[in-house]
Chain A
Amino acid sequence: MSTEVAAGIAYWLRRLGGAVTGAVGQLGYASRFLLAVLWHTPDAFRRIHLTLREIYFAGVLSLVVILMSGLFVGMVLSLQGYETLKRYGADEQLGYVVALALVRELGPVIAGLLFASRAGSAITAEIGLMKTTEQLAAMEMMAVDPVARVVAPRFWGGVISMPLLAALFSAFGIFGGYIVGVRLIGIDSGAFWGQMHAGVDFWPDVTNGIIKSFAFGAAVSLIAVFEGYDAKPTAEGVASATTRTVVVSSLAILALDFVLTVFMFRGAKLV
Chain B
Amino acid sequence: MNRSTIDLWVGIFVAIGFGAILFLALKVGNLLTLDRAPGYHLEASFDNIGGLKLRAPVKAAGVVVGRVEAVRLDPKAYDAVVTMRVDRDYQFSKDTIAAINTSGLLGEVYIGLDAGGDPTMLKDGDRINKTQSAVVIEKLISQFLFEKASETGNAGGAAQAPPKSSGKAVEGAKK
Contact = CB atoms under 8 A, between A and B. Distances in A.
Q: Do A and B come from one complex?
A: yes
Contacts of B9: 56, 60
Interface in B44-95: 53-55, 57, 71
A142 interface: no
A55 B30 contact: no
A164 B20 contact: yes
Interface string A120-163: 00000000000000000000000000000000000000000101
Interface stretch (B10-18, B144-152, B164-172): B10-18
A196 interface: yes
Given A168-B17, A269-B54, A271-B54, A200 B71 contact: no
Contacts, number: 90
A206 B25 contact: yes
A164 B13 contact: yes
B27 A198 contact: no
A183 interface: no
* Chain B contact patch, size range: 20 to 34
B100 to A, nearest CB: 14
Interface in A186-206: 193, 196-198, 200-203, 205-206
B20 A271 contact: no
Contacts of B71: 271
* Pairs of residues from A and B, 4 with the lowest C-beta to C-beta distance, nearest first: A164-B17, A202-B31, A202-B29, A171-B20
Given A60-B10, A167-B17, 18 more contacts: A49-B6, A55-B10, A55-B13, A56-B13, A59-B10, A103-B28, A103-B29, A164-B21, A165-B17, A167-B21, A168-B20, A171-B28, A200-B29, A202-B24, A202-B25, A203-B31, A206-B31, A269-B54
23 contacts: A53-B3, A59-B13, A60-B12, A60-B13, A63-B13, A90-B106, A103-B28, A164-B13, A164-B14, A164-B16, A167-B17, A170-B24, A171-B23, A171-B24, A197-B29, A197-B30, A197-B33, A201-B29, A202-B29, A206-B28, A206-B31, A209-B24, A271-B53
